[in-house]
Structure 1
């Protein structure tokens, strides 16, 4: 399976290719930037690898990664939630649900302390639909990035199975030694591995 760098490079190629193709077809810069934003968000923030609690994508969340702990326990790696459209939708709905709960809590708190906040939309329906279509563009970009991620995972697994076992074992030993050498604790500190880490 390709690592974080492999997925990032592949999604960067998709980002460049999508930008070139969309501009060649006459899409507006706003649409192109919305799709590109979806690709970037799906690569760095809402990666399909969020089902691995010790992944690079999860570590990027910092202390907020505890929000993803339930998701990582419910979703198995490369399960149905790793599929492009379904997994993308579930991850986005998960984040939107958390943000809605957080927004509701702030709204109730502001109301309790006497701050009046209004969520009224003063524009017409046409403006609302027009701006909502940019969210569709962002979601399409995220699906493109997740599809690239999924295809790369499948191809790397197929290629790995073509390599004879003795060469795979030799590479795995090399990779483990490289990992152990580059991930030593600083002098004077002890390292306690987390669950799932070597």
Structure 2
């Protein structure tokens, strides 16, 4: 007796962290490392992340996409999902935050990419990369982000940290505060959290 094959329920792996380029006042190009799947990846969904909410920003059959219709001088956070032929959706990729350029001449944009280096039940260490995607040199970059409630910053490096409640602003120091067009700088921080709390900071943006 013929038995139909079992349905494919295995989702693709998560795509790589998206990288941003060609940031303008109204658009950005994103690229990422491909997902793998037991049958085959058929497409990707680029989403805009706003807190716990998501909205589709673009779809692509390849590992690149262009997001248009953005507002000048505004921060956006994007992530990517992969889809397979059975409609299974992968876990979400890590996020990248982009600040679009202004509408005047000499203005620029930036991207912010956080990476979790390690985490444990009561804390974590995160490394953040900020990239000047504009056409003018940035003197004194800044990155803002939000710690979840109950979390506390315990240290940082390669940046000065200002804390106001759960809001944190990191600013470049003497050796990395100036970024030429296309250049990047990195800084890191460590924080504590209540035991069993798995949340991580969010809302990274250029400040």
Scaled by the length of structure 1, the TM-score of the pair is 0.21
Identify, as 1 or 2, the structure richer in helix.
1
Bigger radius of gyration among the two: 1
Greater RCO (Cα-Cα under 8 Å, separation 6 or more): 1
Scaled by the length of structure 2, the TM-score of the pair is 0.20
